Chains A and B, each alone.
Chain A
């Protein structure tokens, strides 16, 4: 019994593929349209994941740099150290003497010519301070307070751009969600119409099948399979579009990366996200077909 059931499903699957191939241009066009529609939100999502991972490489807690006045003395440094230790908002800090800073600068690529030509060290002593995560306003207040400390030339909020990036990413996620919702509805509509046309051309077969004892699920099955298979094909297309785009961008990036000598390349969707994309696209196709079948089958119900 189960074997017969499985064979019937296998048979329906085979019929579905045959139907897809029997109208190659129409099938291909629908698949491409679905692929492009899916690749938009999925592509933006990939871009955001990459931005996220780049920003994740930088400090996760907010970071500030305290630059001391060039004439700051050892006592000033000790006093600032003490103040930082006492401040509850400061998680950790690191003192960077001007000699060390200069050495770091000399090691930086492309700048050794410039540093070699320097007569004396132009760099100040500095503290790199990690603070508690907090709102931008509180951190700004802390920055202004530190600015007032004696012997401090300038306080710079290093991770401000990270905050801005996070805010942008949040907006990006919203855009992805909106796009995904709208384009999903579009895909469901495309599938709805495709299946409607199929039902119209199969009207005789459906009517006769019902008259000789076909259950509704038997009649529905090939259409649902068709929707799911075409949806899946759309998902594969979207995945390929993204893969191709990333490859192209990475090839372009290599040149820039070589100029600046740092590692930057875009990652494709993770295996989990890829499977989610394929399952979701198959489900969208299935859903469009299901809605179409539900709304059109009763119209040709024998009365």
Chain B
């Protein structure tokens, strides 16, 4: 499903974030990506959504080479992916419902089904009762869940989460991990980057660890 071949990413200032990465994630798999901050986790995830471009190598998603994707095709790639950003990237000028609505507006879903889809997504993350609340009034954990609802509302094949439990206490973090597991159980490919070792103690899933831009096995 997701295949990296000899992928390197060097930033204009000369910093090498990823160095010759080879990896394959099967369809429907759930994979953790660990490593210290600055190890290249975020970069790797951003390459998948074509938010950044590799300096060399090929990235294939469902047979499509992302590294050579035309600018006009990138939006359609991103619609297949649900991305949970490290800094949430919520819109503070609109309520919870409208935040989750945004991906559906973008991919022009029929108006009749959008409201029920938004509510279904909010229900999955337990925010149904807060649909009218503004993001500023939400707690850190709630914002994280709102972010997840927005990432899954358009039913993507791939779910990518960058430090989804970043500043949350253990209990919240376990809740969120349980959500990802349930998405994975219905067939969504899930990639989670985290430096939180406690999350990985009892996991059955594959763990990839990045060290200074290289995969350590």
Contacts and interface: CB of A to CB of B under 8 A. Distances in A.
A214 B108 contact: no
Chain B's interface size range is 20 to 34
Given A211-B83, A302-B51, A4 B72 contact: no
Contacts of B49: 211
Contacts of A213: 75-79, 103, 106-107
B78 A211 contact: yes
A8 B107 CA distance: 10
A212 B109 contact: no
Interface string A215-256: 110100000000000000000000000000000000000000
B208 to A, nearest CB: 24
A164 to B, nearest CB: 60
Nearest to A208: B89
Contacts of B107: 213
A211 B51 contact: yes
Interface in A24-57: none
A174 interface: no
Interface residues of A, number: 21
A214 B91 contact: no
Contacts of B150: 212
Contacts of A8: 105, 108
Interface string A4-23: 11011001000000000000
Interface in A246-303: 302-303
B161 to A, nearest CB: 14
Nearest to A9: B108
A120 interface: no
B66 to A, nearest CB: 14
Nearest to A204: B91
Contacts of A210: 75
B91 A212 contact: no
A80 B106 CA distance: 86
Contacts of B75: 210, 213-215, 218
B85 interface: yes
B111 interface: yes
Interface string B97-124: 0000011011111110000000000000
A5 B91 CA distance: 24
A205 B92 CA distance: 9
Nearest to A201: B93
A121 interface: no
Nearest to B76: A213
With most chain B CB atoms within 10 A of its CB, the pick from A8, A212, A215 is: A212
B103 A215 contact: no
B72 A215 contact: yes
Among all A-B residue pairs, the 5 with the closest Cβ atoms: A213-B78, A213-B79, A214-B106, A215-B75, A213-B75
Given A8-B108, A208-B89, A215-B75, 6 more contacts: A4-B111, A208-B91, A212-B150, A213-B76, A215-B72, A302-B51
15 contacts: A7-B108, A7-B111, A8-B108, A205-B91, A209-B102, A209-B106, A211-B49, A212-B79, A212-B102, A212-B103, A212-B150, A213-B103, A214-B106, A215-B75, A302-B51
Interface of A: 3-5, 7-8, 11, 204-205, 207-216, 218, 302-303
